[in-house]
Amino acid sequence: MEKKESRVVAAVVKNGDKYLCMQRCRSHYLYISERWEFPGGKVEQGESYHDALIREIKEEMDWDIYVGKKLGTITHEYPDFKVKLTAFLCKGGDEQFKMLEHLDYKWLTREEMNDLNWTEADRKLLEVIE
């Protein structure tokens, strides 16, 4: 049976030489539970990637971000579903974000990010970040 593919957007938020990494909450899918990711989420029907990213970050973090250039798109097949993940370089707003749907966060350099236990899809995104 063909797995359902979801279009997902990710915000690669950069501040100086550090990037924002978020730890997912516990999930019934063990292979993504409590793993690290870039914040973002599913693109709704008829929604642009840009609008989806603004909405998802507002919902998950109560934060306004500025969406910049597209970094790349990867596709990953998990045991139960498939994601087409598009990442954008973003800048955070003036206010501090809230963690409404995550366990933890870290600001890390590109090198430090290799040490985290990422979701498989987000690990692939590391390759498109300088």
33-73 pLDDT per residue, tens: 999 999 999 999 999 999 999 999 999 999 999 999 999 99
pLDDT(2) > 80: no
**What pLDDT does residue 31 have?**
94
- d(CA 74, CA 86) in angstroms, rounded, equals 7
Mean residue pLDDT of the chain comes to: 95
Measure Cα distances from 128 to 37, 79, 87, 123, 124 in Å. Answer: 14, 24, 9, 10, 8
Q: Give the tens place of pLDDT for each residue, 79-114.
A: 999 999 999 999 999 889 999 999 999 999 999 999
pTM of this structure: 0.94
pLDDT(75) > 90: yes
Which alpha helices (H) appear in the chain, and where do they start and end? 49-61, 120-125
pLDDT(1) > 70: no
